[in-house]
Amino acid sequence: MATDEILQAIPHRPPFLFVDEVVEQSVDSLTAKKHVDASEAFFEGHYPGNPIMPGVLISEAVFQTGAIFLTRLLAEEPEGDSDMVPVLTKIVDARFRSIVRPGDDLYITVKLKEKAGRFIFMAGGVKNGEGKRVMNVTFSVALAKAEQKE
């Protein structure tokens, strides 16, 4: 899945899009890639002379990857959940293991843990290009009715 397909799947747009491409999909998981470019605006202030990607943006990459996965999952639902959007409801046990710097590639994997009605529980993990763990998190979303655009 390329960037144009990602833009069709989720509402996020640059400069707040933190997924470049989908590299692997299965029934219960999805892996995406993000190249952390040195020109990213957040590096100007975090931190000058020692640029580090903020943990909250690494987390956001996980949640966007989850949204891409759920778009596909909901499209396959016979109950008509395709008009629903996932809304983040809980973040549990987020752990950051290593620093992300300009030039790093991130591989973001989300896995479906459970779907209970309108609630979906997922696990997310991020590794760098060398396979070193960057972050892991468990999170949940609730499916909310999408607002109609006029």
Give the active site residues. Answer: 46
First-to-last CA distance in the chain? 29
Give the 3-state secondary structure of residue 53.
coil
Within 10 A of 115 (CB to CB), how many other CB atoms are there?
Answer: 16
57 contacts: CB under 8 Å, gap ≥ 6: 18, 42
Pairwise CA distance, residues 129 & 28, whole Å: 23
Q: Are 124 and 60 in contact (CB under 8 A)?
A: no
What CA–CA distances, in Å, run from 6 to 49, 72, 138?
33, 11, 22
Pairwise CA distance, residues 121 & 123, whole Å: 7
